[in-house]
Amino acid sequence: MTLRDGALLKALRTHPKHVDGSAIFRYTSKLVLVGGAYYVAAILGLRLALIEKNVTPLWPPTGIAVVAFLIFGWRVWPGIALAALAVNLPISTNGLAAAATATGNTVAPLLAAILLVRVGFRREIDRLQDALAIVFLAALLSTLISASVGAGTLVLSGAIPAGRFPAAWAVWWTGDAMGVLVVAPFLLVLLQRPWSGSLRERIEIAALLLLVADVSVLVMNTDLRLMFLVIPFLGWTAWRFQQRGAAPAALLAAGIASWAAAHGLGPFQQGTLFEKMISLQAFNATVAFSSLFFAALVTERTRAREALERSAAELEDRVARRTAELSAANERLNREIAERHDTDRKLRQREGQLAEVQQQAQVGNWEWLIPEDRVSWSDEMYRIHGYLPKAFPITFEKAVELVEEEDATRIRANLKAALARGRDHDLPPSEYRIVRADGAERVLLGKARLSVGSDGRPLRMVGTVQDITEGKQAEREHRIAETLQRSLLPDRLPEIPGVLLAARYLPATSDLEVGGDWYDVVQLPNGSLALAIGDVAGHGLRAASTMGQLRMALRAYALEEGSPSQVVGRVRRLVRVLVPDIVTLIYLVFDPESGTLRFANAGHPPPLLVDGDGQTSYLEGGLGPPLGAIAHPGQDIDAATHLDAGSTLLLFTDGLVERRGASILDGLTRLKTLAADPGEDLEALCDQLLSAMVTDEVSDDIALLALRQVPFAAEPLFLRLPAEPHVLAPLRQTIRRWLRE
């Protein structure tokens, strides 16, 4: 809410009980501020009074009132009127005279502000029209009211005789006009945003103002008529700092002159009071007008020069932009020409690349213009069929003749159905066989799309043909390898009292990634339990076949009851002689009766041991190089540890802990953390580990084998054994352990 738009008074009229208290406070504060400034300035101005202690040659309150009306609006008139009344009551003959004088002192500056606003006055006084407006409208014209009312009130109230009216009127008019001319510009400049001048500029303006003051005092204290000497210094100040320097300089010069006139000094010693006031008004008007006029003129010239410089810069910028646009257009034209040449070159290059890619991928393309019955083949189409490019002109019937009769019949039927549909569509992919001229049979995959005209008649058919013979052969080998791998893994694990076993095998998700991961569990004749897990490098049929050979050999060596290092050493020698691949293997022998675990490791990830308290550790002893990695690896060594009742042993292949883009150490650490809470169900533990460790596609096979020794807990022992001699030793061990526990 602002006072200027009348919102406060409107609110008081419509909702007097709901007026914002803060708005009233702000309004009252402005009245007090304006009234206080007016009163203080009036008390100071009366010290220069020449007639009846209330007519002064310089009346600053009038300038303050004009500025207040310009800044706060006309609604601050009560503050000015009350302050004027307070000033005039003590020096007037009666209250009515004081009220009349206060009315004149209020109406004159209000009229000045209204006239200034009407002519578009700018408070910065940075235009020539602003200087003319404040001099003629505000200072010389509007103050006629206050001078006439004030001097007339003095005569009517008997304060002065009628004969002194002209002198009183002249002094009054001079004081009010000078208040507007010298005080109002100074206050308007003072209330502008803070000056950001440098220290040098601040020192310079202070020196100029001091010089103006010194010259003014000098010329006012001599009988010589030298008041004109102040004008050059005022012009200098206005030229250097415009209104920011001109306004305070004019205030200094006019103030000193008014003080001299009030005390009859210098050029104001002689003459009547009217003559002195005319002389003072002429001097002060010249000072104010020349300062304001010259400052506004300099500001306008400076602004015009800056505008001209901006226009020149803008013109230069437009010329530069236009020149740049023409240059850019020329460059674009040259670039388009170069790009067109480059496009032609790239098109030829890509045509060559396409032909090369088609040859590498064994993919050819063809086109059949149906109304013309004209067929075109790419070079690779000829190569796929066993011919040199462009070896013979091709027709549709000729192309079908190259297909095996059984498949050709199907192709003709599919084509007939497609042509009858009468709309654009893709034909279903079709596999078919051909027999080349050299007798080689190839399997091809054909894809085609039919385009028809607006009337539904077939117009064009395009398609591709890919030789997928190698892919079909790879699929066949994959199925064989997968079948072999599944058949070689144990279909069930041995059932041994006091020992829990669980295993999981997760093949790679890629169809062609059948690997060589495997595991095995064998119950030895002496009652011990042999465990093995390994990984043959590579994938496919070869890896699966190698895995089968090694598994069978390991079983045979294990049944001879050699130490783990001896068994691993024999397998190492077999790999060196028969298998050209690298194999990792860990072989362990566990004695359920004593809880002893002996093992030898040929480059395989170490087993993870989890004791009954959840403490985890990797068994990193007995380590040797992978099988087939080096020609003379040296002697394999055994390592041993003890498995307490409730302990869990985890064997795994690297597919469980190894991921692309991450260190295998991170996987080992994560597995160690997850296995710290094995739970009671060993099968559930295996499922939980796979679920947590495998979160995306499996790029390698995963084998997981878990063993846990559990106590009999003084329960009855029930055994179901085959009637075979080799079970006697394990039976004796089981009974001894049951009796011991």
**Kind and range of the H or E run holding 335:** helix 273-361
Calculate Rg over the CA atoms of the chain: 57
The tokens of 46 are what? 């009366």
CB atoms within 10 A of CB 149: 19
pLDDT for res 724: 54
Structure tokens at 281: 């008004």
Q: In terms of CATH, what superfamily is 362-467? A: PAS domain (3.30.450.20)
Residue type, position 736, single letter: R
Q: With cut-offs at 50, 70 and 90, classify the pLDDT of residue 134.
A: confident
Q: What is the pLDDT of residue 11?
A: 43
Averaged over 512-537, what is the pLDDT? 82
- Rounded to an integer, what distance in angstroms lies between the CA atom of residue 79 and that of residue 85? 10
In angstroms, the CA 686 to CA 506 distance is: 11
What size, in residues, is the chain?
741
Work out the pLDDT band at 476, boundaries 50, 70, 90.
low
Tokens of 677: 């809470």
**Res. 741 pLDDT band, cuts 50 70 90:** low
Give long-range contacts, CB 8 A cutoff, 24+ apart: 235-239. 235/290, 235/291, 235/294, 236/208, 237/205, 237/208, 237/209, 237/212, 237/291, 238/290, 238/291, 238/294, 238/295, 238/298, 239/294, 239/298
| Average pLDDT in the chain | 79
Of 253, 105, 119, 93, nearest to 183 (Cα)?
A: 253
pLDDT of residue 675 exceeding 60: yes
Band of residue 587 on the pLDDT scale cut at 50, 70, 90: very high
Q: Which two tokens stand for residue 699?
A: 């790029």
Comparing CA positions, the residue from 498, 535, 559 lying closest to residue 658 is 535
Indicate the domain borders of the chain. Answer: 7-307, 362-467, 492-711
Record the tokens describing residue 333, joined without a space.
């034209």
CA distance 643 to 608: 12
* pLDDT score recorded for residue 3: 37
Instruction: Report residue 487 as tokens.
Output: 């058949």
Task: Output the six-digit token pair for 114.
Answer: 């209204």
Instruction: Please give the distance of CA 109 from its chain centroid, rounded to a whole number.
Output: 58
Q: Look up tokens 């102040």; give the residue.
A: 230
Neighbouring-strand partners of residue 391: none
Paired with 520 in beta bridges are: 532
555-572 tens-digit pLDDT:
888 888 789 999 999 989
What is residue 224's predicted lDDT score, i.e. its pLDDT?
59
Check residues 649 and 446 and name the one with the higher pLDDT. 649
Residue 280 has pLDDT above 80, yes or no: no
Backbone angles phi, psi at 459, to 5 degrees: -115, -40
Residue 617 phi/psi, 5-degree rounding, is -160, 145
Return the minimum-mean-pLDDT range out of 155-159, 480-484, 690-694.
480-484
Q: How confident is the model at residue 601 (pLDDT cuts 50, 70, 90)?
A: very high
Write the pLDDT tens digit of every residue in 211-238. 777 676 777 776 656 666 676 777 676 6
- Choose between 631 and 238: higher pLDDT: 631
CB-based contacts of 284: which residues, under 8 Å, 6+ apart?
A: 58, 174, 177, 178, 181, 182, 253, 254, 257, 258
596 — phi, psi (to 5°)? -80, 140
For 165-275, list the strands marked E by DSSP. none
Please give the pLDDT value at position 8.
Answer: 42
Number of H helices and E strands in the chain, helices first, is: 21, 16
Q: What is the pLDDT of residue 606?
A: 95
Phi then psi dihedrals of residue 603, to 5 deg: 70, 15
| pLDDT at 291 > cutoff 80 | no
Start-end of H helices in 20-127: 21-45, 60-72, 77-88, 95-118
Could you read off the pLDDT of 298-314 as tens digits, one per residue?
A: 777 777 777 787 888 88
Buried b vs exposed e over 365-403: b needs ≥16 C-beta within 10 Å? bbebebeeeebebbebbbbbbbbeeeeeebeeeebbebb
Cβ atoms of 700 and 515 within 8 Å: the answer is: yes
Residues 6+ apart with CB under 8 A from 120: 129
Least confident of 92-96, 260-264, 467-471, 691-695: 260-264
Q: Phi and psi for 695 in degrees, rounded to 5?
A: -115, -5
* Residue 149 reports pLDDT greater than 80: yes
User: Among 18, 20, 16, 17, which residue's Cα sits nearest to residue 28?
Assistant: 20
Query: Can you give the three-state secondary structure of 347-366, one letter per residue?
Result: HHHHHHHHHHHHHHHCEEEE
Place of tokens 């040929």: 602
Helix axes 77-88, 21-45, angle to 10 degrees: 40
DSSP state of 622: S
Beta strand pairing call for 596-602 and 623-624 = parallel
The 3 state secondary structure assigned to 465-510 is: EEECHHHHHHHHHHHHHHHHHHHHCCCCCCCECCEEEEEEEECCCC
502 confidence band (pLDDT: 50, 70, 90): very high
- Domain 492-711 falls in which CATH fold? Phosphatase 2c; domain 1 (3.60.40)
Residue 291 DSSP class: H
* Least confident piece of the model among 386-390, 547-551, 715-719: 715-719
